[in-house]
Amino acid sequence: MVVVIKKNTDEEQLNNLKEWLKSFGVDIHESHGEYETVLGLIGDTSHIDTDLLSSLSIIESVTRISEPFKAANRKFHPDDTVIEVAGLKIGGGNFQYIAGPCSVESEEQITYIAKEVKKAGAAFLRGGAFKPRTSPYAFQGMRAEGLRLLEEAKEQTGMPIVTEIMDISHLELFENVDVIQVGARNMQNFELLKELGHTNKPILLKRGLAATIQELLMSAEYIMAGGNDKVILCERGIRTFETYTRNTMDISAIALLKEKTHLPVIADPSHAAGFSRLVKPLALAATAAGADGIMIEVHNDPAHALCDGPQALTPEQFSDVVSDCNSIRDILNK
């Protein structure tokens, strides 16, 4: 249920109202916008008499939310959520590039790529240490050592790091990670999501291979229900009948998510395309559709990458994508 409070309501009246609402056993999410205060009620609201509530002098409107996602719902929080990581903002008009290799392969590789993508305009460094691979015989990532090398690259460049967690038992290894990624394959690993809801780290939640937009939002809700509001959603392509691309980039999901939720929404054209030559057009389309950021896989030597080489851009190609995406951003901001 969403309760909009009239402008200029004094604090005491608002507090009395909140106490009364809490007596029904609901949780209250409070959002103070420029023009209004919104109370989002989560829990069983069936005992609250909406007619009585609407009749109170300080109430502007009362609406029951039919969607199953509440905390992530834009109706609960009309303004965009801005997530700040190491002084960098994402969401609410703040756009960021996240770039780096699919997997951390060596100290030289990760620090070289970090420096190159930083020069090209990336704010965040990505790199997988724990890799979800389809084959158990494929490179599984450098694991704890990979995290250490990411930290090293962060120290050398000052770039905050984004890397994927696959198992909650690894959480303590992620202490110095700035943004924890939940990959497509784990989008509905509900126990993992619940535990991440108890951390205060920003979570980059990727859309599952066959997940609907509502299922993605429900996964965000799992994290938020635990008290962690710092969720960044990521469209990375979904599986369709098309075989020319690795996945099908759902551009409409970007525009639609921005409508349904206040959370920042970024796009990963690399995993959608599967081929480096398609990464740029998809990045431009995602930017034009209103994404709050772009995550791109970049490798110094794509032909010899241990994972996802065919979709990796060279630092030069990445720089070209950044420059054209910035031009799109300029048009949008006019």
Q: How far is the CB of 131 from Mn ion (least distance, A)?
A: 8
Q: Which does 269 bind (CB under 5 to 8 A by kind): ligand PEP, Mn ion, none?
A: none
Which residue has 């929404």 as its token pair?
A: 265
Nearest distance from residue 229's CB to ligand PEP, in Å?
Answer: 22
183 binds, among ligand PEP, Mn ion, none (CB under 5 to 8 A by kind): ligand PEP
Q: How far is the CB of 215 from ligand PEP (least distance, A)?
A: 15
Q: State both tokens at 40.
A: 């989002």
C-beta of residue 75 within 8 angstroms of C-beta of residue 285: no
Q: Which is nearer to ligand PEP, 62 or 211 (CB)?
A: 211
250 binds Mn ion (CB under 5 A): no
Segment near Mn ion (CB under 5 A), from 5-13, 69-77, 111-119, 305-313? 305-313
Helices assigned H by DSSP within the chain: 11-22, 50-55, 107-120, 143-157, 190-197, 213-225, 251-260, 269-273, 276-288, 315-333
Could you tell me the CA-to-CA distances from 252 to 25, 45, 122, 219, 249 in Å, in that order? 38, 33, 25, 19, 9
HSE-up of 293 (CA within 13 Å, CB side)?
Answer: 27
Euclidean distance between CA atoms 154 and 126, whole angstroms: 10
- Which CB atom, from 229 or from 308, has the smaller least distance to Mn ion? 308
Query: Which residue sits closest to ligand PEP, CB atoms considered?
Result: 183
CB neighbour list of residue 48: distance below 8 Å, 6 or more residues apart: 1, 21, 24, 26, 41
Partner from ligand PEP, Mn ion, none binding residue 264, C-beta < 5-8 Å depending on class? none
Q: How far is the CB of 187 from ligand PEP (least distance, A)?
A: 8
- Closer of 134 and 169 to ligand PEP (Cβ): 134
**Shortest distance (Å) from residue 126 CB to ligand PEP:** 7
Shortest Å distance, C-beta 319 to Mn ion? 20
Q: Specify the DSSP element, H or E, that contains 163.
A: strand 161-164
Strand partners, 297: 100
Name the residue nearer to ligand PEP (CB basis): 17 or 217: 217
Q: Which is nearer to Mn ion, 273 or 291 (CB)?
A: 273
Our finding on whether 102 is near Mn ion (CB under 5 A) is: yes
Q: Which does 236 bind (CB under 5 to 8 A by kind): Mn ion, ligand PEP, none?
A: ligand PEP
List binders of Mn ion among 177-196 (CB under 5 A): none
Q: Pick one of 308, 312, 313, 322: the residue that binds Mn ion (CB under 5 A).
A: 308
CB of 190 to Mn ion, least distance (A): 24
Q: CA 215, CA 150: separation in Å to the nearest integer?
A: 31
Q: How many residues bind Mn ion (CB under 5 A)?
A: 2
Amino acid present at 41:
L
202 binds, among ligand PEP, Mn ion, none (CB under 5 to 8 A by kind): none
* Binding footprint of ligand PEP on the chain (CB under 6 A): 102, 128, 132, 183-185, 206, 236, 271
107-142 burial, b for 16+ CB within 10 Å, e for fewer? eebbbbbbbbbbebbbbbbbbbbbbeeeeeeeebbb
Phi, psi of 118 (to 5 degrees): -65, -45
Residue 247, classified by CB atoms within 10 Å of its CB into exposed (0-12), middle (13-18) or buried (19+), is: buried
Contacts with Mn ion, residue ranges (CB under 5 A) = 102, 308
